[in-house]
Structure 1
C-alpha cells in the first residue's frame, strides 16, 4: 500500500504544478486525480479492502471532511448568504429537505428491503452538491454572476446542513447499535450534534474575535493569521472529539461563526486569511479524488450493481434535484432561465465521496455498506458526465440569447 500512496503523491504533485496546463486542456484537477486513481489501482492490482476498512482511514476521511466543511462555510462572499438571503433560504430550508425526502421515498420504492436508516444515508450521499469537479462553472462568464454566486452559497452550506442527519442515521447502523436502542441512538446522535455545534460556535466566534483584536492592534502578521485560521478548524474538530461529539459538524459551525464574527460590519475583506486553510482543503480534496478513482476500480473488480442503482442515481441527478428547486423558487425574483440553470447545475463531488466512505466504514451490515458505496461511485461518475454536459449546454444557451431579453 505504501507504493500506492507514493504514486498518489506523485500524481498530486503533477496536478498541482501543472494546474494551468490542465486548465488549458479543459480539464479539472479532480477529474485528473480520478483517472489517475483508476489507472494506478488497476495497474498495481491493489486490493483496497484493508485500506477502506481501516480505522485510520475513517479518522483521516473525517478530518478531511471537517476541513472542507470549515472552508466551505467561510468562503461565501458578501455576507453569510452571499447577498442572496431569500433565494439561499429557499434552497437550503425548502429544496434541500424536499430533495432528501424524495431520495428516501424513491429509495424505498426501488430498494424495498433496505433499512430506513440506510436510505437516509444514501440520501445524504446523493443530495449535497460540490462545485469542485465543475470548477469552471464559477468562472464561466456565459452564466450570470448571480447564478454562480447562488450555486456557490448552496454548495458551501448544504453538506453541513446534511451532516447532522448523516450522523444520526449512521449511529443507527453501527456495530454498537441493536434493534432495541433506536431511541437511544437517535438521542445520542442529536446530543453529539448539539455539543458539536456549541463547540463550533465557541471556537469560531472566539477565534474571530481574537483575530479582529490582534489585527486592529497590529499584534500579529498575515502569516500568523493564516496559520491560526487553519488551526481553528483542527481545534474545533479535536475539541468536539474530546467531548465525544462530532468533529466535522463542529468544524462547519466553527467556519460559520468565524465568518460571521470577522465580517460583523459587512467588510468581508478577510479572504487572504483563509488562503492556508483553502490550500490544505484543496490538497485534502485531491487525495479524496484519487482515493475515489481507486474505489471505482475496486468496485468494478467486484462487479456491477443491479439496475436499480443506476435508475436511482439517474433520478437523483435530475428529478430529485430539479423538481424541489423549481418548487422552492416559485415566487422568487429569479427569471425562468435562472431558475432552470440553478436546478440543472448541481454537481456532486467531495461531500458525496466522504459521506460514502464514512458510511462504508460505519455501517455494520456489509450488504448495506456496499450498496451505499456503489450509489456514491455511480452518483459522482454520473454527475461528472451529466453536469459537464449541462454546464456547456446552459452556457451556450445564455450566449445565444441577449441578457436583456425576457424569458418570463
Structure 2
C-alpha cells in the first residue's frame, strides 16, 4: 500500500531545520493559540445557537469538524508537533475517561437498560463478530499490514458513538426501545474494545522488544481486572460519601457535582498508577456510582448531580471534534490515501455493522423494523477519534501509525455523512411501516 506515509516525517520537520528551537516553539505557540481562540469562539457560538443548529438539521460535531478543517487550512498550522506531544495524549485519554463515566451513568433500568434480552446481544455477540470481521477485511484490503496493526484499526473503527447523530435519541418516530438499546450499546462497546486496543497497541510500542505478545495479553487481562476493582471501589465509595454528606447536610449540590467529576479523574488516575486500564476504571466507576445512588440502601439520585460531568463531557467532545477537523485537514495536506482506505471505511460503516447486528438479534422479540433500525444506526465518533490519536502516539512505525490515522479520519467523516442521512431516512421508513401495520 503506497499513499506517501513517509511524507509525514518530512512535513513534521521543516520548522526545526529552518529556525532555532526558541523561534520554532514561539511560532507554534502563536499558531496554536490562534487556532484555539477561533475554536473557542466557534464553540461559544454553537452553544448559544444550539436551537438554530438543531432547527436546520445540523449537529454541533458537524459544525466543529467543518470549522476545524477550514481554520487549519486558512492558518496553515503544522499539527505534527501537537499530535506528538504527550500533553495531547493525556488530554484525549482524560476526555475518553470522562465520556465513558457519563455513558455509564446514563444506562437506566439496570446494567442493560431494562432490555437485557436484547441489549446484551450487541456487546456479547455483534461486537466480537464485528471486530473479527474488521480484522479479516484488513487482511484482504491491506495485505502488507501486520495483524497487530489490523487489530488496532478494527478497535478504532468499531466503537459506536451517538454524538454525530444525537438527534436519534429524541426522534419519536423510532420506538423508545430502539433508542434505549442503541444508547446502552454505545456505552458498553468502548469499554469492551478498550482492553483489546491497549493490548494490541502494547505489541506495537517501544516496550514490545522487552515484552512478548503473550506477556502483553496476560498483562492486559490483569490490567482490566485491576481496573474493574478500582472502578467499582471508587464508584461505590464516592456514591456512599455523596449520600452520607447530603443526608447530613454537610455539603451542597454544587459541590457534589464537582465531586462527581473529581471521582472520574480519581478512578482513572488510580488505575493508571497501578498500571491498569484507566478507561475501564472510569466506566465501571460510573456504573457503580449510579447503581449505589439509586438502588443500594433505598438511595435516590438527584439527576442534577451529574450535570457538571455531562456538561464537561459535551464541552470536551466539542473540542475533540474541532481537533479532528484540524487533523483531517493536516492529513489530506500530506496526501490522499489509496482507495483501499475508503473501501475499508465504507464496509466498516455498512456491512460490518449490519450483518453482525442482524445476526445477533435473530430470535429476539424485536419486530423486523426495529432490528433493521438498530443495524443501520451505528455512528462512529469520539471514541474512534480518541483511539486513533492514541494509536498515532503509541505506534512506533510511522507508516502504520499514519495508516490508522487515515482510516480513522475516513471512517468518522463517512459516518457523519452516512448517518446524518440515514437517521432521518430510517425514521421516516419506520414510521410508515408502523402506520401500515394493522392494529390488533
TM bin (shorter chain): over 0.9
TM-score by length of 1: 0.96
Deviation at 1:340, TM superposition (A): 0.4
Secondary structure of 1:401's counterpart equals: helix
Unaligned stretches of 5+ in structure 2?
A: 1-31
The number of residues matched between the two structures is: 407
Distance 1:194 1:6 in 2: 41
Q: CA deviation at 1:31?
A: 0.7
Select which of 195, 217, 224 maps to 1:193.
224
Aligned to 1:263: 294
**Which residue among 144, 147, 150 is the counterpart of 1:116?**
147
User: 2:9: which partner in 1?
Assistant: none
- Does residue 94 (structure 1) correspond to residue 125 (structure 2)? The answer is yes
1:396 aligns with 2:436: no
2:381 matches 1:330: no
Gaps of 5+ in 1: none
Question: Is contact 2:84-2:393 (8 Å) kept?
Answer: yes
The match for 1:281 among 284, 297, 313 is 313
| 8 Å contact kept, 1:79–1:263 | no
Q: Deviations over 1:130-152 (max 9, x none)?
A: 01111111111111111111111
**Aligned with residue 350 of structure 1, among 365, 369, 382:** 382
* Contact 2:164 2:419 survives alignment (8 Å): no
User: More deviation in 31-40 or 141-150?
Assistant: 141-150
Kept in 1: contact 2:261–2:309 (CA 8 A): yes
Pairwise CA distance, 1:269:
4.3
1:152 aligns with 2:183: yes
Aligned-pair CA distance for 1:92: 0.9
- Tell me what 2:406 maps to: 374
State the secondary structure of the residue aligned to 1:77: coil
1:311 pairs with 2:343 = yes
Q: C-alpha deviations, 1:195-218, integer Å up to 9, x for none?
A: 222211110111122222333333
Q: Distance in 1 between matches of 2:200 and 2:224?
A: 12
Give the deviation of 1:380 after TM superposition. Answer: 0.5
TM (norm. structure 2) is 0.89
Q: Which has the larger radius of gyration?
A: 2
Q: Contact (CA 8 Å) 2:107, 2:113: kept in 1 or not? A: yes
1:387 maps to: 419
User: Alpha-carbon deviation of 1:393?
Assistant: 1.1
Partner of 1:224: 255
Report the RMSD for the aligned CA atoms in angstroms: 1.7
Rounded to whole Å, the distance in 2 between the matches of 1:267 and 1:335 is 36
Which residue does 2:33 correspond to in 1? 2
- Quick one: distance in 1 between partners of 2:198 and 2:85? 19
Change (3 A) 1:251 1:38: same
Deviation above 4 Å: which 4+ runs of structure 1?
Answer: 265-269
1:206 maps onto 2:206 in alignment:
no
Cα deviation, residue 186, structure 1: 2.3
1:82 and 1:149 in contact (8 A); partners too = yes
Are positions 1:13 and 2:36 aligned together? no
Does the aligned pair in 2 maintain the 1:204–1:256 contact within 8 Å? yes
Q: Contact conserved, 1:78 with 1:268, CA < 8 A, in 2?
A: no
